[in-house]
Chains A and B, each alone.
Chain A
Amino acid sequence: MSAIELTKLTLRRSGRTVLSGVDAVIDEGEFIGVFGPNGAGKTTLLQALLGLLRPESGAISIFGQPPLHGNPLAGYMPQRRAAMAELRLTGWDVVASALDGHRWGLPILGAEGRRQVAWALETVEAVEFARRPIQHLSGGEMQRLLLAQALLGKPRLLLLDEPLISLDPRYQQAVVDLVKRVQQALHITVLFTAHELNPLLGAMDRVLYLGGGRAKLGTVEDVVNSAALSQLYGAPIEVLRVGGRIIVVAAHGEVEAHAHRHDA
């Protein structure tokens, strides 16, 4: 069974069409890098997969089912963390808050709940700093906690929205490697949005490029080349390969700055 099937999917946001007529099939166990300039619709797509945004037209199928608000099969790591930065609570408490956090009642975890939190923290190698207040954690440590949180409930699909944002290159690679290890250990499907292609090159099975309301899914060779990207963006794009790294350049400046800007 495929993990995700998009059929003629059109998504609109405040009257603006963000994606239109997108077709894509993602297999179970794939690691997909999702790229595109700011505003291309990466977050919007993830939110539609989570059932937070209803398609204008077309269909989404997740493990054969339509998207479901609160789907236990999908683990999610949101892009924006408004409340987080100045918290003086421990990582453990923050991670644990997501375990059945939508249910009414007292936040009593019980032995089984504590086991699940401990499992998630071990899986992302965050045990040693989980007792520290998150205020004092580095960006990379923070991302590991958020990943642990997304793993609670053992989802089969992980939707990670810009986990590399504001990390320096060394930590970027560490986070990608960690996600890859987790993905392989648990045999789950991963959608990983990012602005920078290179840290993900070793980890991705395929890429999904979004731009100009359209999408292109395929291997790095098939999608990240001048012809394919120029067609997607409707502007001339050059792709250079330098010592195992890929550099995407717009022939006329504009697109490149947007397409692969570091959001640090």
Chain B
Amino acid sequence: MPIATMLDYDFMRSAFAAGLVVALVAGAVGYFLVLRHLAFAGHALSHVGFAGATGAFLLGLTPFWGLLALTLAASTAMGLIGERLRGRDIAVGVILSLSLGLGVLFLHLYTAYAAEATALLFGNVLAVSDANLRALAALAVVSLLGLAAISRPLIFATLEPELAEAKGLSLRLVSVLFLLIVGIAVAEAAQVVGVLLVFALMVSPAAAAQRLTTRLKTGVALAVLLALAETWAGIVLAYITDAPPTFWITLLSSGAYLVALLVPQRLEAASTRP
């Protein structure tokens, strides 16, 4: 299809708007997720969301709110476990698979259309409704304001937990607040790339950014830019080629990470200027 007329379509405009909102949140929150070595926990959270979304189907509720509710509940639990969450890959993985299992059961009971399950699992950014978009934007504002409010202690607690504690900071409080924000970000990202591929928007861009710069603020900005560029480019490529946007986004985000890995150390030194 001709690119020139792309923006004549409502669904395309909505897709770009949703992509913008979600990339802002996923990139920024993802940066701290990676910094705190919680990438896998974030991945698992989205799967818990899957059980929530399919459960909401069953109860006749909007799946997005079911996804968000269960994700936030799991975030709180993980936050309370706190620092000990690190290295708990097995426990997190068990919860992840249980959640997917429950999701499958709920889908079975609901006898849902495959299309709905696919959209949940792999996202469908080309089918974002206006109501959806408003909810995404409102949640993005909440999570970004929350992230701004906790960013200073979050950085301190992440880099220097022992010292932060000695200075009177509650590591557990920081951990719970941050994971609640992660919960929102995961629910948002799932709208674009689906619960299975939240990694592509939250982890890969952030990890690439951390390879490319050693400055914190530059890193956050770069993670957001990468997430946004990958999402928008993915939507455009899907429009041109007919392959789903999620495919393009995962391809671009993996590609960007790979390129970041290959960037020689020289560039790294150049990027350390203030």
In the bound assembly, the distance between CA atoms of A69 and B151 in angstroms comes to 22
B150 proximity list for chain A (CB < 8 A): 104
B272 proximity list for chain A (CB < 8 A): 90, 131-133
In the bound assembly, the distance between CA atoms of A160 and B126 in angstroms comes to 57
The reply to whether A97 and B159 contact each other, CB–CB distance below 8 Å, is yes
B162 proximity list for chain A (CB < 8 A): 78-82
In the bound assembly, the distance between CA atoms of A202 and B268 in angstroms comes to 41
Contact of A102 among B149, B151, B156 (CB under 8 A): B156
A69 to chain B, nearest CB (A): 5
Contact of B152 among A47, A78, A94, A100 (CB under 8 A): A100
State the majority secondary structure of interface residues on B: helix
Contact of A76 among B148, B153, B166, B215 (CB under 8 A): B166
Is A88 an interface position by the 8 A CB rule?
A: yes
Within 8 A of B (CB), among A75-103: 76-84, 87-90, 92-94, 97-98, 100-103
Residue of B nearest to A108 (CB): B152
Contact of B161 among A79, A83, A93 (CB under 8 A): A83
Is B2 an interface position by the 8 A CB rule?
A: no
Residue of A nearest to B159 (CB): A97
Q: Using an 8 Å CB-CB cutoff, how does the interface string of B155-167 with A read, 1 for contact, 0 for none?
A: 1111111111111
State whether A101 and B160 are in contact (beta carbons under 8 Å apart), knowing that A52-B165, A107-B152, A133-B268 are contacts in the complex: yes
The reply to whether B153 and A101 contact each other, CB–CB distance below 8 Å, is yes
The reply to whether A105 and B152 contact each other, CB–CB distance below 8 Å, is yes
B168 proximity list for chain A (CB < 8 A): 69-70, 102
B163 proximity list for chain A (CB < 8 A): 76-78, 98, 101, 149
The reply to whether A102 and B159 contact each other, CB–CB distance below 8 Å, is no
The reply to whether B159 and A84 contact each other, CB–CB distance below 8 Å, is yes
Number of interface residues of B (CB under 8 A): 32
In the bound assembly, the distance between CA atoms of A97 and B158 in angstroms comes to 9
In the bound assembly, the distance between CA atoms of A104 and B164 in angstroms comes to 13
From B148, B149, B166, B269, residue with most partner A Cβ within 10 Å: B166
A107 proximity list for chain B (CB < 8 A): 151-152, 155, 216
State whether A106 and B152 are in contact (beta carbons under 8 Å apart), knowing that A69-B168, A70-B167, A132-B272 are contacts in the complex: yes
State whether A98 and B156 are in contact (beta carbons under 8 Å apart), knowing that A81-B162, A106-B148 are contacts in the complex: yes
From A79, A83, A92, A105, residue with most partner B Cβ within 10 Å: A83
A149 proximity list for chain B (CB < 8 A): 160, 163
Within 8 A of B (CB), among A217-261: none
Residue of B nearest to A80 (CB): B162
Residue of B nearest to A90 (CB): B214
Q: What are 21 sample pairs from A and B whose C-beta atoms fall under 8 A apart?
A: A47-B166, A52-B166, A70-B168, A77-B163, A78-B160, A78-B166, A79-B162, A81-B162, A83-B158, A89-B216, A93-B216, A98-B156, A98-B164, A101-B153, A101-B163, A103-B153, A104-B149, A104-B153, A105-B148, A106-B151, A131-B274
The residues of A with any CB-CB pair to B shorter than 8 Å are: 47, 50, 52, 69-70, 76-84, 87-90, 92-94, 97-98, 100-107, 131-133, 149
